[in-house]
Amino acid sequence: MTRLTTRAALAALAVLGTSCAPTAESGIPEDSAAVQPERQCFSTDQVRNFRDGEHGQLFIRAQRDQVFELNTSGGCFDVSTANSLVILGDPPLGGSRICTGDWARIGVPGSSAPGGVCRARVERVLTAEEVAALPGAHRP
């Protein structure tokens, strides 16, 4: 009896799952890669340089010469005077690989701020032209 109930429940879930799948008629393109840009990532051990920007911006240069813009929402203290940063993936994933759209924890060793750690969201990777257009004080 239990086996029959389980099979019926699984069959119902399969029907419901496929009935909610997007189709070409629904106006959602079948190729979701065309809608969502590819997430670009860096490993925390690949960070070579950083600079703070304006209004909670933090620019990080990774090993492949990519410059990532992070938004700290103004909560990271002492970043403008820091000589080093600690960057970690935000829980629950944590880890050293951080991608656009992810949250990270930023720590400033020797910070006078309570806790010394803040959160930042990885917004995007800047183009070479955008990096060149940054003021010198903000360019990592």
Instruction: Give the residue extent of every domain in the chain.
Output: 2-34, 41-138
Provide the residue-wise pLDDT of the chain in tens; the chain has 140 residues: 444 444 444 444 344 344 444 444 544 445 544 555 688 999 999 999 999 988 889 999 998 889 999 998 767 878 888 899 999 888 776 778 999 999 999 988 887 777 678 899 999 999 999 999 999 999 99
H/E element, 11: helix 2-19
Question: Which candidate, 110, 120, 38, 115, places its Cα nearest to that of 87?
Answer: 120
pLDDT score at 22: 45
Supply the pTM of this predicted model. 0.70
Residue (of 104, 72, 100, 77) closest to 88 by Cα position: 104
pLDDT computed for residue 36 by the predictor: 55
Only one residue has tokens 């799952």, namely 17
Distance CA 58, CA 49 (A): 11
Which 8-state DSSP code applies to residue 115? S
Instruction: State the pLDDT at residue 33.
Output: 44
| pLDDT of res. 32 | 44
Reduced to 3 DSSP states, what percent helix, strand and coil does the chain have, rounded to the nearest 5? 25, 30, 45
Which residue type is seen at 135?
A: P
Determine the pLDDT at residue 15. 41
- pLDDT at residue 133 in the model: 95
Cα 88 to Cα 6: distance, rounded to the nearest angstrom: 42
